[in-house]
């Protein structure tokens, strides 16, 4: 009985507050949301370019908790894990990226990378 009363009171508050607060909150929240989305797109690219969780830890020096936080936020925003998400219109060429030796690091040896396929929005194979 108390639960129903609470739910009715909350719904009444939400219904009254939303029209008043939405015009104030949305303009402030939109830049933060856009920034988070851009950050997660970069995280998705790095995830694939550096071979996922272990690659980000080893080569990008990201902590376990930082990776888990981003994976969790990525799942909330995009609905999938970075391993399985395919970003529409984006193709990743892992081999070309690492042939330029970004940050002085190339995964595996150069011969293995020369034979690596172009990867289109999937986890690179090593």
pLDDT of residue 112: 45
Residue 26 lies in a domain: no
Q: How far apart are CA 80 and CA 86, in angstroms?
A: 9
92, β-bridge pairs: 119
Residue 120 lies in a domain: no
Residue 10 lies in a domain: no
pLDDT of residue 117: 44
Residue 126 lies in a domain: no
Residue 42 lies in a domain: yes
Q: How far apart are CA 101 and CA 16, in angstroms?
A: 57
In a 3-state reduction of DSSP, which class is residue 82?
coil
Q: Are 71 and 101 in contact (CB under 8 A)?
A: no
Enter the pTM of the model.
Answer: 0.63
Write out the chain's pLDDT in tens, 126 residues.
789 999 999 999 899 988 888 888 888 878 878 888 889 999 999 999 989 999 999 888 999 999 999 999 999 999 999 999 999 998 988 888 887 766 655 555 444 444 444 445 444 444
Q: How far apart are CA 9 and CA 99, in angstroms?
A: 61
Residue 43 lies in a domain: yes
pLDDT of residue 107: 57
Domain that holds residue 41: 36-114
pLDDT of residue 81: 96
Tell me how many domains the chain contains: 1
């Amino acid at each position: 009985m108390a639960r129903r009363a609470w739910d009715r009171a909350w719904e009444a508050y939400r219904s009254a507050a939303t029209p008043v607060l939405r015009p104030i909150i949305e303009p402030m929240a939109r830049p933060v949301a856009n920034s988070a989305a851009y950050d997660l797109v970069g995280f998705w690219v790095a995830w694939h370019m550096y071979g996922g969780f272990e690659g980000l830890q080893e080569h990008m020096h990201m902590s376990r908790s930082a990776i888990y936080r981003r994976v969790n936020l990525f799942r909330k925003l995009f609905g999938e894990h970075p391993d399985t998400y395919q970003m529409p219109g984006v193709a990743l060429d892992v081999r070309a990226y690492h042939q330029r030796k970004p940050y002085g690091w190339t995964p595996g040896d150069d011969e293995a990378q020369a034979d690596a396929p172009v990867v289109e929005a999937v986890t690179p194979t090593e």
